[in-house]
Every structure is written in C-alpha cells, then in structure tokens.
Chains A and B, each alone.
Chain A
Amino acid sequence: RKEVEQDPGPFNVPEGATVAFNCTYSNSASQSFFWYRQDCRKEPKLLMSVYSSGNEDGRFTAQLNRASQYISLLIRDSKLSDSATYLCVVIKAAGNKLTFGGGTRVLVKP
C-alpha cells in the first residue's frame, strides 16, 4: 500500500460547481499536511496547509480527519482556471521528508 494515496481522477466539474476529493495516508504518526497544485508541465505550487481544525482560503477548504487518516480539499464555485492536478503532501515528523500523493486531476468545463 502506498504511503499517500489519491484518486487520480479526472474529476470533470461544470464551471460554478463544487468538487471535493480526499487523500489517504497510511502512517498514523504523520504530522503535517499540505495541498499543492500542479499545472500541466509545471512545477508544483503550494496551495494551502491543512490544519487540524480545518481551514479555508477563499473558495478552497481543507479538512483533516486523523481518525480515518485522510485529508480533503473542497473547491466551491469552480473556475476554469482551477483545472489542474492537486497533490496531497504528508510529512511524518519534523525533520523528515515530504511524501507526495500521485495527484488528483480536476478538469473544470464551461
């Protein structure tokens, strides 16, 4: 089983709709979590950190469920520019390396 798993998608989303997807992690000692966005043939860029209490940044909401060992990302009022691959990143402990999920591809269509 991979340490960090994501549904590869693609999630085909009508413009203006809401889309949500999860990322599961296998190591219960994981401490820090992030969502990155990667556009086609570009480097990943940090989208947002994921805090235990959940956090929101504009149209994006991230949640952490430690009991079930997953994090989620919800995008409201999807824009065409939201089309990208969303990478889940997990750190087991400070001083340890980041582990990336395989990414979830989101396609927002008019």
Chain B
Amino acid sequence: GAGVSQSPSNKVTEKGKDVELRCDPISGHTALYWYRQSLGQGLEFLIYFQGNSAPDKSGLPSDRFSAERTGGSVSTLTIQRTQQEDSAVYLCASSLVIAGDQPQHFGDGTRLSIL
C-alpha cells in the first residue's frame, strides 16, 4: 500500500542486545518522526527528520538510542544494549512538510519486548 511501513511488526529480544527498527515513509513525505508508546501511556516523541536538516534528537531518552535517515527516505531507529524499560510500541509517522495543517500519517508500529 501507500502508507507508512514499519518492520518488524514484533520484536522480542534479550536484555543487552541491540535492535534496529525500520520505517519506510510515504513517498514524497519530507518529515519523518519516531515516537514510542509504553503500555497505558501516551505518545513520547523521540526524534524527527525534516529534509536534509539536522534531526531534532531532543526526545531520545539516552545515548543508547540513535536514528538515521538515508537518502531522505527510509529511517532506522537503533537501540543499543537494550533494557527492559525499552519495551514499548515504536511508532513512525511521516508528513508532507512540518507545517501547521499537515497531518501525520502513522505506521502500524513495532512492538518491542525486552526479556
């Protein structure tokens, strides 16, 4: 389809392992966001990319988290040395531009479980 695609849809891993989550935004969307949602919690902003500008990393909870966006399209979110508190649904969203009236379109999310 033409929506935001995330993979994997589910990921279970052991504490201490590294994980990589992928987001493929809607074609032509210049803005890309990563959020996470812990069980019963609201959405927590992590990072966003806009075109070729430096990303806003202000929401990353620790230096174990990093993200990149290659070629202005696909993005990967990497979590190193995972901890149990990293367990959450990681949502990616894209929008045409970062502007007041441009809605974000969300992917289905990656459900990450750290054992």
Which A residues form the contact surface with B (CB < 8 A)? 31-32, 34, 42-46, 49, 87, 91, 94-103
The answer on a CB contact under 8 Å between A97 and B106 is no
The answer on a CB contact under 8 Å between B100 and A44 is no
**B71, chain A: closest CB distance, angstroms:** 21
Closest to A34 in B: B103
Q: Which of B35, B58, B59, B100 contacts A91 (CB 8 A)?
A: B100
Q: What would 6 more interface pairs be, CB under 8 Å, given A49-B101, A99-B45, A101-B42?
A: A43-B107, A46-B103, A91-B100, A95-B50, A97-B98, A100-B43
- B54 on the A face (CB < 8 A): no
Residues of B contacting A94 in the complex (Cβ-Cβ under 8 angstroms): 98-100
Residues of B contacting A31 in the complex (Cβ-Cβ under 8 angstroms): 100
The answer on a CB contact under 8 Å between B43 and A32 is no
**A32, chain B: closest CB distance, angstroms:** 3
Residues of B contacting A87 in the complex (Cβ-Cβ under 8 angstroms): 42-43
Residues of B contacting A96 in the complex (Cβ-Cβ under 8 angstroms): 98
The answer on a CB contact under 8 Å between A102 and B108 is no
**Chain B interface residue number, banded:** 20 to 34
The answer on a CB contact under 8 Å between B91 and A43 is yes
Residues of A contacting B58 in the complex (Cβ-Cβ under 8 angstroms): 97
Q: Can you sample 22 A-B contacts with CB below 8 Å?
A: A31-B100, A32-B100, A34-B103, A42-B108, A43-B106, A43-B109, A44-B91, A46-B103, A49-B101, A94-B98, A94-B99, A96-B98, A97-B33, A97-B48, A97-B58, A97-B98, A98-B33, A99-B45, A100-B42, A100-B43, A100-B45, A103-B42
The answer on a CB contact under 8 Å between B101 and A97 is no
**B114, chain A: closest CB distance, angstroms:** 18
**A97, chain B: closest CB distance, angstroms:** 5
Report the separation of the CA atoms of residues A31 and B43 in the bound assembly, to the nearest whole angstrom: 20
